Structure formats: structure tokens, C-alpha cells
Structure 1
Amino acid sequence: MTSTLASPVPAPTSAPLLSARDLRQSVSGRAVLHGIDLDVDAGEHLAITGPSGSGKSTLLHTLAGLEPPSSGHLLWAGEDRTGDREAERARHRLLEVGFVFQQFHLLRGLSLFDNVVMPGLLARTSPRRSVLRRGRELMEQLGVGELAERGVGEASGGQLQRVAIARALINAPRLLVADEPTGALDSAASATVMDALAQVSAAGTTLLVVTHDPEVAARADRVVRLEDGRITGITPPVPEPSAAPPDRAGSGRSQHRAGRG
């Protein structure tokens, strides 16, 4: 594997890449997450499991910044980002977080290649030619380079998911989140997609995966089990984090990686 899939190496820090402290979330007035405490180290591959309705996707989306928490604290590399405005969260998502969904969410009016490079062009952090070159390299690395000019309706589910992974990586995010990435695929396509995600993890990108599939979860460094909006188990278990949330300067950072919700 070449370095194409790798994200920029962050500056050394004692803080986890992502931390939740007493994180709570409500959806349509219903409490879904109840006091989640969780640390995710840079470069870690973490799986979130649990029964349907346990809050897995809500937790993933909250950690990734798609929705602000109802209460509690969400920290990025030791900095409390809970109070960020929507414009700040949107920019953070574009540059620092890649998203892979069960149903791909590719735009049918664009070629597969255009789907991949679109977030890179929107970011405007690199010259257009560099974005296009990275898009081609990512598709080649993920085994879908020959599909660049095809449309969404001209590829299999496994191919579409690998295109979606390429799109998620176009801005070299430090965090990749995948919500049931194999849920719509057969076993052969699922294995191919998980091999692709393993490449991403091996290249140093932090990976959070929500899954019902024990084979997908078994590939992770740690597995967090969620039930009724609370963490009920972590495999392997680690010490609980400090209860005090760090301030924006990073004081009081916890050295632990996860705790119970």
C-alpha cells in the first residue's frame, strides 16, 4: 500500500483525538444518549455495536459533528468544541471528518469520479489539479479506478461503497466514520469493503464504525457496546476517564481512553 490513503500526521499530543464527556442527545424530544464518556485515540479503529434503537447512529453522528449534543462536552484533540456554531461545525466536517453511509449517498447526476472529488473542490484548500490527481489515486488504490466515468447506476453495491470511501478520504480527514458500511452488501462485497477500511486504518486515519456484524466489529482495536443510550461494555476494558471536562486550552486532559456512560 502506498501513502495515498494516509492522513496528515498530527502534531504530538497527550489528548485523544476525540472525547465525549457526559454526552447527552435528544432526538425529536426523546432522550437517546444518556451521559456518554468515551475517548478515541488518534489512529484507533473503534467499533460501536448494540441492538437496534440503542443509539449507535445517534452517537456516531454526534461525535462526528453532524448534530450538536443536547448537553455535555465534545472535544477534538483536547479542545472543547461543544459551543461551535454551525458554520464552524460544517467546516470542521468538510476538512477533518469523512463520512461513509450504508446507502452510499452518491449523487446520481454526477460521474463516480465527480462524486469523489466534489468535497475536495468545495474545500478550496488545494489546487484543482491536485484534487483531481488525488481523486484518481484514491479510486485506483481502492480498486475502482476503471469506474471513474461511470454513473451511480452502472456499478455494484460493493463498488459504490468503495467509491464512497474514496470520496470520504479526498480531503485527507483525520477521522473517518462509517455507519453500517456493509449493511446493504452481500458477504463477498462486505469483505472487500472492510479490507478497504482496514487499509484506511492501517494508513493512520482514525476509524469509527457502527455495525451489527460481529465479523466487522472483530476487525476493530476496541468494541464499544451500547444499550438504551448507555455504554454497557468495552472490549478490551480500560480505565474510566476523568469526570472533569477539559477547558478550551486543554487543561485537565484525561489520559484514559474510555469509560461507561
Structure 2
Amino acid sequence: MDKVIIGESIVKSFGEAAEKHNVLDDVFVEIFEGEFVSVMGHSGSGKSTLLFALSGMDDVEFGKITFEGRNLRALSENELADIRRTKMGFVFQNPSLLKNLNILDNIILPSMRDNRKNAASIIQKARVLMKKVGIAELENRDIAKVSGGQLQRAGICRALMSNPNIIFADEPTGALNSKSTQEIMDLFFEINTEGTAIMIVTHDAKVAARTERIMFMLDGKIVNELKLPKFDGTDIDRRVEEVTSKMLELGI
């Protein structure tokens, strides 16, 4: 299995002089094609910072980040933007949707910016994705008139519009109830089964237990990993127990 991303000796710091500290402290990480991986740790441990660094959304002071053989730190802002737009998808805890646009228009907006001549095919693709995730009937709905889980589904549709090779998800279920969390994780599982790599940052052991590899962070370092078999839908309690036991062992 080929590697989608390699991060080597990554260092990222915040603050100045005596208050300066490394949020990422000599981190090495690899993510493989089609892998479903999660990152756990205390608030401030560096989880989200790692996600932003690996996706090229934030630069680092030191280290090398390679995406599909290309050194992200050697690319221009325009080149990075092209990669993020065409090769990566992003899902955040609070989807950044525009209030003056309906659900469908929010989903197609990034794609329409690049390719207005193919508007009809873009809209059709969005409708196919909306049907797939169960929000087809909401295409004309204002974003203020849908639930948090429905908004997150719209965010996932938008992330999938470019057929990305990897999706970066930063606490995608953090603002959702347990039912919506399970539904969103079911969607991620289906997306991953179809071949898209996914990296999820989460505090939730039940979310992490659905992934194949959990990286545990502490004070800016990846201090341990837990590998699990691919989730088959039947052993979630045992998997959660493994995750929580590892968290207790590591003091996370």
C-alpha cells in the first residue's frame, strides 16, 4: 500500500522567547492509501495542529511534509491551494457554510468557482452525493433550518465533490448527539470502504474505535499507536474498551 502523506521531523511552535513552546515536537507520521486513521489526545496536545500541517493549511518551522511524492513546503500558495481543492477534502466540527446560500449552493460553491462551464454536471454530482448521504430533500433549505447532523452531511458532500484522495476531519462529530455521531461515522466508513483515506481528530473513544489505527498525542508528540482490524460493525464495545484502556495507560 502506497503512502499518501509522510511527515518527517515536524516542528511547530507558538509564543515568543521564554513563552515559546513546541505544539508539534519532532513528529513523524505516515498515512497510507485508503487508510482510516484517527488522532487522540488532550486539548492542546497538537492534534488539530498536526492535521493543519499535514494538509498544508498551516506551515511549520521545521520538517518535511510529502503528499503523493510532492514536498508541500516547497510549493507556492497557489500550488498548495490547487492540491487542497483537487486532492483533499475537509470536514470540520462546525461546517463553514454561507448563510445567504441554500444547502445545494453551499455544496457546489467551491467546484463552481473553478469550472462554471460544467455547472450542470457539478449540480448533478452534488445531488447524487446528497441522495447518498440522505439529505436530497434539503437542497433548497436555508442552513439555519436544518439540524447539526444535516449540516455535517452537507459538509461531507462538499468535501467529496473533487473525489479527494484523503479527507481531513477535525472533530467532525464534536457538536453532534450520539445518534448523529453514529450516522456520520457510518458515512465516513462507507467513504473509506470506497477507497478514500480519512484522518479524523477526535476526543471520542467511540469515534476512534471505528478507525483502523489510532495515534495518541501528548505534549506535541505521537507517543503511541493502537492498530485495530477493519471495523465490521459487530465489535464496537470491545474496540472502545481497547481504546479507553490505551488512553488510561498513556494518561490521555
Q: Deviations over 1:134-186 (max 9, x none)?
A: 10000000000100000111100111100110011111111101100110011
Give, in whole Å, the separation in 2 of the partners of 1:223 and 1:209: 9
Match of 2:44 among 31, 53, 68: 53
Which secondary structure does the structure 2 equivalent of 1:103 belong to?
Answer: coil
Give, in whole Å, the separation in 2 of the partners of 1:199 and 1:137: 15
TM-score, length-scaled by structure 2: 0.85
Give, in whole Å, the separation in 1 of the partners of 2:149 and 2:117: 29
8 Å contact from structure 2 (residues 167, 196) kept in 1: yes
Match of 2:234?
none
Q: Where do residues 126-205 of structure 1 align in structure 2 (5 Å cutoff)?
A: 127-205=118-196
Q: Which has the higher contact order (CA 8 A, sep 6+)?
A: 1
Match of 1:16?
3
Match of 2:233?
none
Which secondary structure does the structure 1 equivalent of 2:111 belong to?
Answer: helix
CA RMSD in angstroms comes to 1.5
Match of 1:109 among 90, 100, 107: 100
8 Å contact from structure 1 (residues 223, 234) kept in 2: yes
Out of 154-163 and 81-90, give the one that drifted further.
81-90
Match of 1:44?
35
Alpha-carbon distance, 1:75 to partner: 0.3
Match of 1:27 among 14, 17, 23: 14
8 Å contact from structure 1 (residues 95, 123) kept in 2: no
- Matched to 1:27, the amino acid is F
Give, in whole Å, the separation in 1 of the partners of 2:212 and 2:73: 27
Unpaired segments ≥5 residues, structure 2: 229-252
Match of 2:249?
none
Q: Where do residues 236-255 of structure 1 align in structure 2 (5 Å cutoff)?
A: 236=227
8 Å contact from structure 1 (residues 157, 184) kept in 2: yes
Out of 75-84 and 226-235, give the one that drifted further.
75-84
- Matched to 2:205, the amino acid is P
Give, in whole Å, the separation in 1 of the partners of 2:13 and 2:223: 19
Instruction: Kindly indicate which of the two structures has a greater share of residues assigned to helix.
Output: 2
Alpha-carbon distance, 1:37 to partner: 0.7
Which secondary structure does the structure 2 equivalent of 1:82 belong to?
Answer: helix
8 Å contact from structure 1 (residues 24, 71) kept in 2: yes
Alpha-carbon distance, 1:126 to partner: 7.4
Match of 2:75 among 59, 78, 84: 84
Give, in whole Å, the separation in 2 of the partners of 1:227 and 1:125: 45
Give, in whole Å, the separation in 1 of the partners of 2:140 and 2:29: 41
**Among the aligned pairs, what percent are the same residue?**
35
Give, in whole Å, the separation in 2 of the partners of 1:79 and 1:184: 34
Aligned residues: 224
TM-score, length-scaled by structure 1: 0.82
Q: 1:215 and 2:202 equivalent? A: no
Match of 2:58?
67
8 Å contact from structure 2 (residues 56, 72) kept in 1: no
Unpaired segments ≥5 residues, structure 1: 1-13, 238-261
Cα distance change on mapping 1:142 and 1:126 into 2, 3 Å = farther
Q: Which runs of 4+ in 1 moved over 4 A?
A: none
